[in-house]
Structure 1
Amino acid sequence: MVTVVFWEKPGCAGNARQKALLRASGHALEVRDLTAEPWTAERLRPFFGDRPVTEWFNPAAPRVKSGEIDPAGATPDAALALMVADPLLIRRPLMQVGTRREAGFDQAAVDAWIGLAPTERPVTDQCPKDDPSHAIACRAAGEA
């Protein structure tokens, strides 16, 4: 399979499930701390491709959820400046295989890109604490 450079927020249960799925699919991971990486706008921009700026942001980031930051009103340059200053704003995980870079974890897209093992429940880039059914499953699994 492939080696995936995987930038995560340490301790994130969603990222833990994503890594488990990638490993179960035969991929090797080079895991990095998203919040400790020395990001620049130039390094970060390629992860978002042609997605709209609103999709660059982590919708569960405290500053987004509180309304302090409105992704819909951000220009690309402003969004990158905000994310460089506060990496928790970045939609995660960030992944790189070879020269291709992606942000977020859309299971179907990742499967089409590098291949994934089948799962009973979809794995996404949404925080499980935002979905009551996932939160219940996480508590039962001890992931809260």
Structure 2
Amino acid sequence: MTHVIFYEKPGCGGNARQKAWLEAAGHSLDVRSLLSWPWTADSLLAFLDPLPVAEWFNRAAPRVKSGEVVPEALDRDSALTLLLAEPLLIRRPLMETAAGRVVGFDPATVAAWLDSPALAALDGRRTEGCAAMSGDCESI
């Protein structure tokens, strides 16, 4: 199958389930911390640039949930500056293979990207966010 570089928030229950689904589908993982990775504007944009700015953000992050950060109100440069300063705000997981990059864990997107029918079976299940997984997954 495919080798996936998987950027996660260590200890996040949602990311743990996503990794388990990938491994159960036969993919190998190189797991890295999204929070401590030495991101640059270019390395982060390699993942985020294809998406609208509002989709760059982790909707379960405390500052987003509280309304302190409103992704739809940010322009590209302001959003990038904020994400580099506070990686907890980055939508996760970020995943990378030799074939490209994906942000988030939408089952249909990930299944097509990895040519992995087993992952398509997850469609319709809650696969992102922490609300359904464990209390305060977003706290550091």
TM-score when scaled to structure 2? Answer: 0.87
Length-normalised TM-score, structure 1: 0.84
What residue number does 2:4 align with? 4
% identical equivalent positions: 53
Deviations 1:105-139 (A, max 9, x none): 00111001101523597252222x2xxxx35xx69
Counterpart residue number, 2:83: 83
Question: 121, 124, 127: which one pairs with 2:127?
Answer: 124
Deviation (angstroms), 1:41: 1.1
Q: Could you list the structure 1 runs, at least 4 aligned residues long, displaced by more than 3 angstroms after superposition.
A: 118-121
Uncovered stretches (5+) of structure 2, i.e. residues with no partner: 136-140
Structure 1 pair 97/120, CA: closer, same or farther in 2 (3 Å)?
closer
Unaligned runs of 5+ in 1: 140-144
| CA distance in 1 between partners of 2:123 and 2:42 (Å) | 38
Q: How many residues align?
A: 132
CA-CA distance at 1:59 after TM superposition: 0.6
Alignment of 1:25-104 (within 5 A): 25-104=25-104
Structure 2: how far apart are the matches of 1:16 and 1:60?
16
Q: 1:57 to 1:119 in 2, by over 3 A?
A: closer
Instruction: Give the CA RMSD over aligned residues.
Output: 1.9
C-alpha distance in 2, partners of 1:82/1:119?
Answer: 32
- 2:26 is the counterpart of 1:21: no
